[in-house]
Amino acid sequence: MDRLIIEAVIDNIVYSNPDNGYVICEADSKEEGQFYAVGYMPGISEGENAEFTGSWITHPEYGEQFKVELYKTIMPSDEISMIKYLGSGMIKGVREATAKKLVEAFGKDVFEIIAASPERLAELKGISRSKAQMISASFNEQRAVQNIVMFLQQYNISPNLAVKIHKLFGADAIAKIKEDPYSLANQIDGISFRKADNIASGMGIPKNSPKRIRCGVMYFLRDAAYAIGHVYMPRELLMEHTVYELGVSDAEVQNAVTELIAERSIMCDRIDGEDACYIYNFYHDESYIARRLSMMAAQCGKYSMTALAAEEAIAEFEKEHDIQLAPAQSEAVITALSGRCMVLTGGPGTGKTTTINTIISLLEDMKLNIALAAPTGRAAKRMTQITGREAKTIHRLLGAQLLGGAHVFSHDEDDPLTADVVILDEVSMIDTPLMASFLKAVKPGGRVIFSGDSDQLPSVGPGNVLHDIIESGAIPVIKLTRIFRQSSESLIIVNAHRINRGEPPELEDRTRDFFFMRRRTPEAAVATITELYTKRLPGAYSVDPMADIQVLTPTKKGLSGTVELNKRLQSVINPPRQEKREHQYGQTVFREGDKVMQVKNNYDIEYTCADGTKGTGIYNGDIGVIDSIHTEDKYMLITFDDDKTIEYPFTSLDELELAYAITVHKSQGSEFGYVIIPACSFIPMLMSRNLLYTAVTRAKKMVVIVGSEKTIMNMTNNNSFSKRFTGLKERLIKIRERSADIEDKDTENN
């Protein structure tokens, strides 16, 4: 699509979002006549002359519009335009009458006087000194935003990001960027090292600048953590990568790493026989987890039972509830009652729910205070359903809040949780920083029971915590493997275990709850998925697609990715209608009735429950439905899980995505009645066994896989996974071995 440049006068601001600078305006051009311009244009005002760079688009409801990619403004020079600009409402304290008074008094010098000599405004009747200062400050603020937008446009930084930069750095933003453009990569979400480096290069900063190399090293460590899951990088690999990517010498990178270690931005340690470079906080988080778990494993819990007493309690429980625990289940219960920490793991249908409920009942008989938690809202909701007790998200349990732009927890070592026992579910999803924060909040003498399936996908964030704990052998681990008879009747469970063992799933049995629909092309697969979601499954099983059916896909990209699938499903199940309001944010159109997912933790947003109670916090993975859109007041009314209704501001829409189709990673910790999975050709790193296993185990009633049998087999056969550099396993083993050596020496001395 060709980019065009149009000069125009801003006649009317139809809509303006002050938080991100998104504007819809009417403009008048000599060449194009009157038209609507839409895009991120922070600080733009009526009466201004503007030069727009962009392209024509057709909105399904509002028709032809000019989508602005870049813009620059030219201060108005004629009297009518100056009055319109000053009286547009963008400048505090100035309306049309005041604007007219200012222009009549100062003429073409009005803007310079407002900016630099506000005391002269107070010479006019009706303008006090305080009001003059307010007018000047507001005018300069608007110009500062526009200046930084136009300054950053030359480096391909969007106006939306420019607003974020201005909010953080203030009126001196341009000076601060010129002084150290790499500070953007360290402090602004959405500014990568590459973007900051592009700005620095444009300013003439040499490629071997120490600031550039230090920032590059930290960027590569952070990127390795949040893009791949590494907690550290081997020093040699970090050096090689930095030298190659930045085009600098070994000595220059070595100096940068040494400086970062000296200033405690990086910690170095010896892991797996090589030097490991950690971001400072990750090193302390991983070390803390190892020390705390090892200490807990070595101690008995308060009011712990002996193994014999636990066996007697189990026998009484079995008799009272007319059940018979399997040997591994009994072992898990005994371990939970007699120790301070343990891991309970196992696949679907192996009795984890029965085991957890037995543990809870017997711990309650011991008069212990128990807290239940899970990483996501949906996982916590499911835990509540299967136990009959309230479960919270970990963030809510720990009292998460946003303080000074950083996420902090109110419960820690200084203010621990009051619970005697915390049972934590879906632990495979928990990354290293969150696990460290959780353990810091467990009170002295408190117990922890971890539950999770180590064969599912690892956490999105850095680390492989559950896997490392299990592999270390440092704390008791009970793995449930027996599939109970009633579960063995489900082909979902049978095939999940077959996939997990690397065996081909049964695809031809059409009598139970697992179906395969062979389609030769992604186009055919997507057409079938759309039909299944909107017609076939709702018609055959009388289910609500919004509440009961979920499409899970490995990827965001391509025809079978979430972006395209959501557009397709939205257009069929919730198409545009005159009576339905909608709001476009970026490339996404949000419409009343849409199914949406929260994709970031927001600790401060307020919600109201159906019973009128209020609270704060909505979390990554929570799913809801847009009840109404209020364009004038700039918010949506969304009802999330557990009937939590939120007035969701347009300024937070970067935290929201359509959720007719979601990625398998986002589905972790959730269960859905009916799951549809596309099996098309994906990039190699997504063709993995644990990804397919995770997707299949999200379904309670039915799985339908649509696509290629070859893709299913390739994923089942691929048990390889990207190695994550973590030191937790080795740290746990070393502590255990040191403890064993001390015990041996004590025995010899005695």
SS3 content of the chain, % helix, strand, coil (to 5): 45, 25, 30
Q: What one-character DSSP code corresponds to residue 227?
A: I
Q: Cα 155–158–164 angle (5° rounding)? A: 110
Helix, coil or strand: residue 24: strand
pLDDT, position 63: 85
The reported pLDDT for the residue numbered 567 is 95
List Cβ neighbours of 319 (8 Å cut-off, separation of 6 or more): none
Q: Is 469 exposed, middle or buried (0-12, 13-18, 19+ CB in 10 A)?
A: buried
> Do 618 and 596 meet the contact criterion of CB atoms below 8 Å apart?
no
The pLDDT tens digits of the residues spanning 500-558 come to 999 999 998 888 899 999 999 999 999 999 999 999 999 999 999 999 999 999 999 99
Residues facing 52 on adjacent strands? 6, 71
Here the tokens at position 21 are 């600078």
Give the residues of the chain that fall short of pLDDT 50: 747
In the chain, what is the straight-line distance between the N-terminal and C-terminal CA atoms, in Å? 84
Q: Where are the alpha helices (DSSP H) in 390-450?
A: 394-398, 432-441
Whether the CB-CB separation of 483 and 498 falls below 8 Å is answered with no
> Which amino acid, 295?
M
Q: Rounded distance, CA 590 to CA 631, Å?
A: 12
Nearest Cα to Cα of residue 624 among 549, 677, 701, 546: 546
Q: What are phi and psi of 13, to 5 degrees?
A: -90, 110
Token pair of 629, please? 């859109």
By C-alpha distance, which of 538, 565, 539 is closest to 551? Answer: 565
The pLDDT, as a whole number, for residue 474 is 92
pLDDT of residue 743: 55
Residue 660: partners with Cβ closer than 8 Å, 6 or more residues away = 533, 551, 565, 566, 569, 570, 573, 595
Strand partners, 598: 656
pLDDT at 746: 55
pLDDT at 216: 92
- The model's pLDDT over 48-57, given as tens digits with 9 standing for 90+, comes to 888 898 999 9
Structure tokens belonging to residue 31: 């060449």
Residue 317, class by beta-carbon neighbours within 10 Å (0-12 exposed, 13-18 middle, 19+ buried)? middle
* Residue-level pLDDT at 742: 61
Q: How far is CA 618 from the centre of its chain?
A: 11
Calpha distance 235→222 (Å, rounded):
14
In angstroms, the CA 395 to CA 374 distance is: 9
User: What confidence score (pLDDT) does residue 449 get?
Assistant: 97
Cβ atoms within 10 A of the Cβ of 331, count? 18
Calpha distance 55→502 (Å, rounded) = 51
How far apart are alpha carbons 146 and 319 in whole angstroms? Answer: 75
